[in-house]
Structure 1
Amino acid sequence: MAVRRHAIVGLGSRAQLFARALAASPRAVLAAFCDSSETRMRVHNGWLGTDIPAYRPEDFTAMLAKERIDVVVVCTPDHTHADYVVAALEAGCDVVTEKPMTTDVEGARRVLAARRETGRSVRVAFNYRYNPVHRRVRELLAGGVIGEIGSVEFGWLLDTAHGADYFRRWHRDKAHSGGLLVHKSGHHFDLVNWWLGSGPETVFALGRLFFYGDKTGHRSDRFALDLDASPRLRALYRDAEREDGYVRNQDVFGPGVSIEDDLSVLVRFRGGAVLNYHLHAYSPREGYRVAFSGSEGRLELDVRENEYPAGAEPRPEPGRARLTVQRHWEPPETVLEVTLGTGHGGGDERMLAELLGDAAPDPLGCAADHDAGLQALLTGLAANRSLETGRPVAVTDLLGEIGEPA
């Protein structure tokens, strides 16, 4: 495979993952950075020991030509993804974008139209697919271990360290993130789509801002974030505030929060299976449980990622996962019980190796393209619309607005 020249746009925390991998890959060249902050680009160069050319957002298109970029990695705030993806495609580049692919119907229409017109590829960084535990679920379901799947129960807990962070940053504004149903739950909706080999048909949602924000009546000083206590966060954000005015550690109980923190979603999939999904972002522990009920039994995955939030005592222990199958009229069988790997359960490293060409494509189809990005996004967009209208939403209506066939 030819060595390809990459640019990263958006140099916040998430970009570290891609920058380190690109700098170490024999099949890739990290050729350019693009960000609104000279400080952040300088910090990344310092961490890598490199002198990668740095560009401002207004010079993005010129950068692609000057640096002969083949692939653009998009790590900017979610509401800007479509702008950068479309500009990169039209410049003849392939794209790897952080999830979500975009945050609204118009962004999806623009991205998919540009992809069709240019013939270039868009890949979405759904790293949870590469987690070995999730791969095992995919293998078992595809192998028919519980027969035809009738329903899925999926509950995800974000603790008061991780969950609160979405209410400090730009994610707190639904216009910037699409809310947790698009930004965070997109991971989870993608997993179910991939596990079932299907996509959403009808979506209904209920949710509210229960815990965070300035109108809930809840407040605690324990939610304050000290950027100066973290050299990494201080370098990327505190030291860069004077350049772009972005404040990384806003008050989670302050004004300006327009996203929900407690959400329930019902999804009917093509083929008839039904998903019952719940996300809440103020839990004392972190983890998730997913259960599949089928014509021949039940498969359950219980993942306990963190029993105690950061700073609590006793200190957090490594997360653990237990996967169990019970067929009708048979005793339950523990398929695996393991300690979780680092980086989304070990998914980050495997995803990067495949994205950068350092590993053969996964036979389970872990690589997520523009269609996978769209299918995950459709559930979140439909759920948000259901929150607004109080009614079920037919995904075909959204596809019609996007200009895609049903």
Structure 2
Amino acid sequence: MKVGICGLGDRLGYLAKVFTETIPNFDIVCYADPEPTGFRRMDEKLVRRLRGFKDLETMLAKERVDLIMIGSPNVFHCDQLCQVLEAKVKIFCEKPVVISEDETLRLLGELSKVGTDQIMVGLVLRYAPLYQDLERLTRQGIFGDIISIEAAEHIPPVHGAFFFRDWRRKTKFSGGFLLEKCCHDLDLYAGLVKSRPRRVVSFGGNSFFTQRHQHLAEELTYQRWPAQWQSTESSFSGDADIVDHQVALVEYNNDVRLCFHTNVHTADSFRRFCVIGSNGMVEGDFVRGYLRAHSAVPQECIFDSTYTHDDQSMHYGAEEQMAVDVAKHLEHGTPLPVSVLDALEAGLTAIKIDEARQQGNILDLNGLWSRFDEAIAS
């Protein structure tokens, strides 16, 4: 299988290494990126033989490939996806897939012509061993019917500072912080609930990464992660329009409720959840590596597991399992645990949560899902 990369940054540089090591005959032959930064993550011998192109259009015209991996800044995804779909080439796209409702409906229209299997998505946490155990406990009915979920993703200062220096600090490029960083989490819990959001409301803002704290700019923590395209020197420049903390409430069509909290300047980071059901509860943390379930009556622990992973893994060992599953999908057509439709629904949820925050309103999403279904059926 000949593979081309569109947008060769750190993320796809790392995935290229994992996929090449895991998937038989996965041969990356070319890339489209005027300023690639992901070479440091890749095998030196592979890098030396790659053919580089300034843009996707040129690469598609010059190379015959079986798969395109898209890892460019989010703002470019929709046009690039449509371009590759038109070329009838299979796609692996990093999340988020697109950055607006209009782009979502446009892509759904294109997918209605070619089929949703043409795009695989990098919602990698669906492949995490911890989440797979959580799904299994849910299927087994260990905690009964889900009633409510409390969840959070809090990242450390070094990571938050990167967001506020990188292109991701601008909503016009990233789609906003919640979409860029937390669509993973919104997808995970939608996958458990198996229902679409009915109403959303949110509050949030930027309280730390402002010019008021410019005196901290020289601290190594706030400079450590290199930012590239459309970057700024200081995380406290004041030109960002994303949030550094946010809370959201989601009510699903099946009456399950989720409360979600994120903060990008957390001293001891965690990615934690608690799912409470009619027969018990399960709680876990991807960062701290544990999953525990308790029954309600009698009150006792019925599942307790810890998870370790290679320090090089970006998502708790999930990339390796994703590569294994992608290999099965490419070779045998085995369904993947997450689809492009799942990704688009999670993305739209994040987009509408941000709209609710900006408007200061509770948003009803029923009309949104009608438009979504009409677009994919067209």
Same fold? TM cut 0.5:
yes
Work out which of the residue numbers 334, 357, 361 in structure 2 matches 1:391. 361
> What CA distance in whole angstroms lies between the structure 1 residues aligned with 2:38 and 2:300?
55
2:76 paired with 1:80: yes
**Deviation per CA, 1:241-298, whole angstroms, max 9, x where unpaired?**
xxxxx35463111121100011011111121100011001111011122111111111
How big is the shift at 1:65? Answer: 4.0
How big is the shift at 1:75? Answer: 0.3
The corresponding residue for 1:352 is: 323
How big is the shift at 1:355? Answer: 1.9
The corresponding residue for 1:174 is: 171
Q: What amino acid is the match of 1:348?
A: E
The corresponding residue for 2:208 is: 211
> What CA distance in whole angstroms lies between the structure 1 residues aligned with 2:149 and 2:97?
25
Partner of 1:184: helix, strand, or coil? helix
1:263-278 alignment, distance < 5 Å: 263-278=246-261
Work out which of the residue numbers 337, 359, 374 in structure 1 matches 2:306. 337
The corresponding residue for 2:28 is: 30
The corresponding residue for 1:326 is: 295
> What CA distance in whole angstroms lies between the structure 2 residues aligned with 1:272 and 1:218?
47
2:111 paired with 1:115: yes
How big is the shift at 1:219? Answer: 3.8
The corresponding residue for 2:155 is: 158
The corresponding residue for 1:243 is: none
Work out which of the residue numbers 277, 281, 303 in structure 2 matches 1:298. 281
How big is the shift at 1:131? Answer: 0.9
Work out which of the residue numbers 258, 262, 279 in structure 1 matches 2:262. 279
How big is the shift at 1:337? Answer: 2.4
CA RMSD of aligned residues (A): 2.8
Extract unaligned runs of 5+ from structure 1.
228-232, 238-245, 306-318
Work out which of the residue numbers 56, 60, 64 in structure 2 matches 1:64. 60
Question: Does the CA contact (< 8 Å) of 1:266 and 1:276 recur in 2?
Answer: yes
Question: Does the CA contact (< 8 Å) of 1:291 and 1:300 recur in 2?
Answer: yes
Q: What amino acid is the match of 1:368?
A: V
How big is the shift at 1:354? Answer: 1.8
Greater Cα offset, 273-282 or 326-335? 326-335
How big is the shift at 1:46? Answer: 4.1
Percent pairwise identity: 23
Question: Does the CA contact (< 8 Å) of 1:145 and 1:296 recur in 2?
Answer: yes
Question: Does the CA contact (< 8 Å) of 1:8 and 1:73 recur in 2?
Answer: yes
Extract unaligned runs of 5+ from structure 2.
none
> What CA distance in whole angstroms lies between the structure 1 residues aligned with 2:295 and 2:160?
33
Q: What amino acid is the match of 1:160?
A: P
Change beyond 3 A, Cα 1:42–1:141: closer
Change beyond 3 A, Cα 1:405–1:269: farther
Change beyond 3 A, Cα 1:212–1:143: same
Normalised to the residue count of structure 2, the TM-score between the two structures is 0.89
> What CA distance in whole angstroms lies between the structure 2 residues aligned with 1:268 and 1:323?
25
1:355-374 alignment, distance < 5 Å: 355-357=326-328, 367-374=337-344
Change beyond 3 A, Cα 1:218–1:141: farther
**Deviation per CA, 1:56-100, whole angstroms, max 9, x where unpaired?**
12xx23422431122211100011111111110011112111000
How big is the shift at 1:155? Answer: 1.6
Change beyond 3 A, Cα 1:357–1:31: farther
**Deviation per CA, 1:147-169, whole angstroms, max 9, x where unpaired?**
11110000221111122211110
Change beyond 3 A, Cα 1:108–1:274: same
How big is the shift at 1:214? Answer: 2.2
2:50 paired with 1:52: yes
Normalised to the residue count of structure 1, the TM-score between the two structures is 0.83
Work out which of the residue numbers 226, 237, 244 in structure 2 matches 1:261. 244
> What CA distance in whole angstroms lies between the structure 1 residues aligned with 2:40 and 2:126?
32
Q: What amino acid is the match of 1:101?
A: V
Change beyond 3 A, Cα 1:257–1:32: same
The corresponding residue for 1:376 is: 346
Aligned length: 371
How big is the shift at 1:22? Answer: 4.5
> What CA distance in whole angstroms lies between the structure 1 residues aligned with 2:249 and 2:209?
24
